């Protein structure tokens, strides 16, 4: 046999051996993939459902707790405070600091405070304290404030004048109760934007229900 022929036979043998190894490797890879697929299916079937572990149903509103009084602030415990940026309304979950011209606030006798996106939310809270703050009662409320629409300053909610039925829409884009420290300013607003001037004693549950367009939710403290 010539040298050339020997080289050809060696190349042919090596080529066949390589093909055999490739086929063996392919069978091993296919078997491994099949086993991995079976393990993945078993894992998916046996793992706990995500919705059963601490998931919050869609019909529950999660709220932040009230803001504690800071003695180092230098202000009286029951005085109106600046709205913290991270404070959330306990009624609707919005951030009152984003619409300060509508904001309201409530202070408990121990100094804890809640901030609201609007006078409407404040009065909804006052009419159902235990619903929005389980463990609290109306008797613990020491002070309430609303923002004077004319000046942007805080004014006691019980002494304010409110315009009901105007074209002014609050942060939730529904009918609202813009507040005024001065009755004359409230009357001028009503002349320009419609509605009637009301005092705190006029804000009944029926009036609030008519203004409240939110879906019904269960509330949970966070």
| pLDDT score, position 77 | 97
Residue 8: how many CB atoms within 10 A of its CB? Answer: 12
pTM comes to 0.69
Per-residue model confidence as pLDDT tens for the chain (222 residues): 554 554 445 444 444 544 566 666 667 676 666 666 666 655 655 554 433 333 333 344 555 689 999 999 999 999 999 999 999 999 999 999 999 999 999 999 999 999 999 999 999 999 999 999 999 999 999 999 999 999 999 999 999 999 999 999 888 777 689 999 999 999 999 999 999 999 999 999 999 999 887 765 444 444
| pLDDT score, position 176 | 85
Q: Cα–Cα–Cα angle for 42, 45, 48, nearest 5°?
A: 120
- From the list 84, 95, 90, the residue with the least C-alpha distance to 135 is 90
User: What are the backbone dihedrals phi and psi of residue 147, each rounded to the nearest 5 degrees, phi first?
Assistant: -90, 125
Q: 179 vs 81, 93, 122, 198, CA distance in Å? A: 17, 21, 12, 9
| pLDDT score, position 4 | 52
What are the extents of the domains in the chain? 96-211
- From the list 126, 149, 142, 123, the residue with the least C-alpha distance to 212 is 123
Separation CA 160–CA 144 (nearest Å): 11
Separation CA 179–CA 105 (nearest Å): 13
């Amino acid at each position: 046999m010539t040298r050339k022929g020997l080289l050809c036979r060696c190349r042919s043998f090596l080529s066949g051996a390589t093909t055999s190894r490739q086929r063996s490797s392919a069978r091993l890879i296919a078997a491994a993939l099949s086993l991995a697929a079976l393990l993945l299916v078993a894992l998916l079937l046996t793992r706990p459902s995500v919705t059963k572990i601490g998931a919050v149903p869609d019909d529950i509103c999660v709220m932040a707790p009230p803001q504690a009084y800071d003695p180092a602030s230098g202000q009286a415990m029951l005085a109106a405070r600046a709205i913290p940026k991270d404070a959330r309304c306990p009624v609707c979950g919005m951030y009152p600091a984003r619409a300060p011209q509508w904001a309201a606030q409530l202070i408990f006798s121990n100094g804890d405070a809640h901030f609201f996106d609007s006078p409407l939310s404040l009065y909804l809270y006052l009419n159902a304290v235990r619903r929005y703050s389980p463990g609290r009662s109306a008797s613990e409320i020491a002070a309430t404030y609303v923002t004077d629409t004319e000046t942007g300053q805080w004014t006691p909610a019980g002494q304010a004048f409110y315009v009901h039925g105007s074209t002014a829409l609050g942060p939730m884009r529904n009918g609202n109760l813009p507040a005024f420290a001065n009755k004359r300013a409230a009357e001028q607003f009503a002349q320009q934007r419609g509605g009637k001037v009301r005092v705190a004693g006029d804000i009944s549950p029926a009036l609030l229900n008519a203004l409240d367009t939110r879906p019904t939710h269960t509330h949970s403290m966070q």
